[in-house]
Amino acid sequence: MKLAELNRIPDLDVSPLGALSGNWQQQHVRVDYSFPVVFTRHAFDIANPDFRAVLTVREPQRRHRIAIFLDAGVAQAMPGLLEQILAYIRFHAQAIELVGDIVVMPGGEACKNDAHVVANLLEALSERAIDRHSYSVAIGGGALLDAVGYASAIFHRGVRHIRFPTTVLAQDDSGVGVKNAVNWQGQKNLIGTFAPPWAVINDACFVEILPNREKRAGLAEAVKVALIRDHAFFLMMEKQVHALAAFDSDVMHAVIARSASLHMHQIAHGGDPFESGSARPLDYGHWVAHKLERLTAHALSHGEAVAIGLALDARYSCLAGLLPAGEDVRIHRLLSQLGFDLWHNQLLASNEQGELLVLQGLREFREHLGGELTITLLAAIGSGVEVHEMDAAMINAAICWLQQQRDQVQENPHGGQQQEVACR
């Protein structure tokens, strides 16, 4: 560009403040992110074009270099997967080049807790000379996607990253989002970035081989997003609850797709995709869930802890006069019928001063967000509302109610319609 052309560039907007004497120039940077979320089956069947298509969408004539990181649990559950991936790459060799061996690594929360996992991932990316026109591909559950996503986001300031979520929770929530993180010093997701992926491929076949406990756990996030954003979706899950509880494939995949769509819509159109404000509506029920995960040393999975958090905050919403009476029972009933245990004794764990340890989750939740405490509660099924304080006595009462609901079910496990038990 010639100097004369530079001189014709308009000045930046200047927004001077009266109390300041410097020359302020206000810079505006807008970046549009767009990535496909593909719902498919048998993604590594050589006849399935989806994986090749997302790799070649921008540069169809290039041969694309990829590094693959595979969850060891997935590899064990699908013994032929490794060879199927290699066969796919061989068949599509004109468009895909695998660099180095496929890295098979542990998944689960232990992956995010491993102090060496990020360094090991960065070393693997470096050894393979992955650059900003290459791809880092992660195949696994949400924890592995988080760890690989974080390493990919900081390597070369960000390399192209493709996710293959293999759990219900990752396919219907975390895997279609824009966040990644690892845990540090016992704190969940303390180190991470906001980095939208290049693409997400949801292969239904991964879900179908999951243990029932893992299938169920992911449904908690579907119930959550229905509670805060989509009354009709909640009604659909109520109507299909027995099919969902039996993990009917068609119903499961319909729920996963709708949940993923609602999560994506909230991120794209909620006004704060990178959470620079204080509100996080998609974390309804999560302030207690994150604390319960730690208090139980992750004996409760994330989804199981979220289910308890949803029920607890639904009851609190009623006690606070936000949610109409009886809707908490309805929410509790749906979660129970899906097979969730909505009680854990760690809800009653206390410190030497008698304060419930779970209440520390509020402080930790605010510290993670920064700014003002902002908790999403319910104004109605399908409508979330933000509050900036929570009453400890009402939280205690909500916990008491959960315990009484559990006791009622134990006393009458086959007794028809669940009745509300007033907390005394």
CB atoms within 10 A of CB 180: 28
Task: Indicate whether 76 and 179 sit together in one domain.
Answer: yes
- 16 lies in some domain: no
Say which residue, 14 or 297, is predicted with more confidence: 297
How do beta strands 383-387 and 375-380 pair?
antiparallel
Structural element, H or E, at residue 387 = strand 383-387
Task: Indicate whether 230 and 167 sit together in one domain.
Answer: no
Q: What is the CA radius of gyration of the chain?
A: 24
pLDDT tens, 140-197? 999 999 999 999 999 999 999 999 999 999 999 999 999 999 999 888 889 999 999 9
Distance separating alpha carbons of residues 283 and 306, to the nearest angstrom = 9
Burial label, 171 (beta-carbon count in 10 A; 0-12, 13-18, 19+): buried
- 367 lies in some domain: yes
Q: What is the pLDDT of residue 11?
A: 52
Task: Indicate whether 248 and 121 sit together in one domain.
Answer: no
Q: Which residues, in sequence order, are CB contacts of 257 under 8 Å at separation 6+?
A: 39, 172
Cβ-contact 225, 190 below 8 angstroms: no
- 283 lies in some domain: yes
- 423 lies in some domain: no
Task: Indicate whether 374 and 281 sit together in one domain.
Answer: yes
Task: Indicate whether 199 and 242 sit together in one domain.
Answer: no
Domain containing 314: what range?
Answer: 214-411
Last residue of a domain, one of 208, 223, 255: 208
Residue 229 is part of a domain; what is its CATH number? 1.20.1090.10
pLDDT band, residue 369 (cuts 50/70/90): low
Last residue of a domain, one of 140, 174, 208: 208
Distance separating alpha carbons of residues 111 and 246, to the nearest angstrom = 30
Whole-number mean pLDDT of the chain? 91
- 18 lies in some domain: no
Structural element, H or E, at residue 81 = helix 81-91
Q: What is the pLDDT of residue 354?
A: 86
Residue with tokens 């986001």: 153
Last residue of a domain, one of 181, 208, 235: 208
pLDDT reading at 422 higher than 50:
no
Distance separating alpha carbons of residues 343 and 328, to the nearest angstrom = 15
Task: Indicate whether 112 and 221 sit together in one domain.
Answer: no
Nearest 5 degrees, angle CA 291-CA 296-CA 299?
A: 120
- 270 lies in some domain: yes
Task: Indicate whether 341 and 195 sit together in one domain.
Answer: no
Q: What is the pTM of this model?
A: 0.88
Task: Indicate whether 243 and 372 sit together in one domain.
Answer: yes
pLDDT tens, 324-366? 999 999 999 999 999 999 999 999 999 988 889 999 988 888 8
- 194 lies in some domain: yes
- 28 lies in some domain: no
- The two tokens of residue 9 are 């560039």
Residues forming beta bridges with residue 67, ordered by sequence position: 136
Task: Indicate whether 56 and 130 sit together in one domain.
Answer: yes
Q: Where are the alpha helices (DSSP H) in 198-281?
A: 204-208, 212-229, 231-239, 241-245, 249-269
Task: Indicate whether 139 and 94 sit together in one domain.
Answer: yes
Residue with tokens 């009484």: 404
Task: Indicate whether 91 and 180 sit together in one domain.
Answer: yes
Task: Indicate whether 87 and 107 sit together in one domain.
Answer: yes
What's the domain count of the chain?
A: 2
Residue 124 is part of a domain; what is its CATH number? 3.40.50.1970
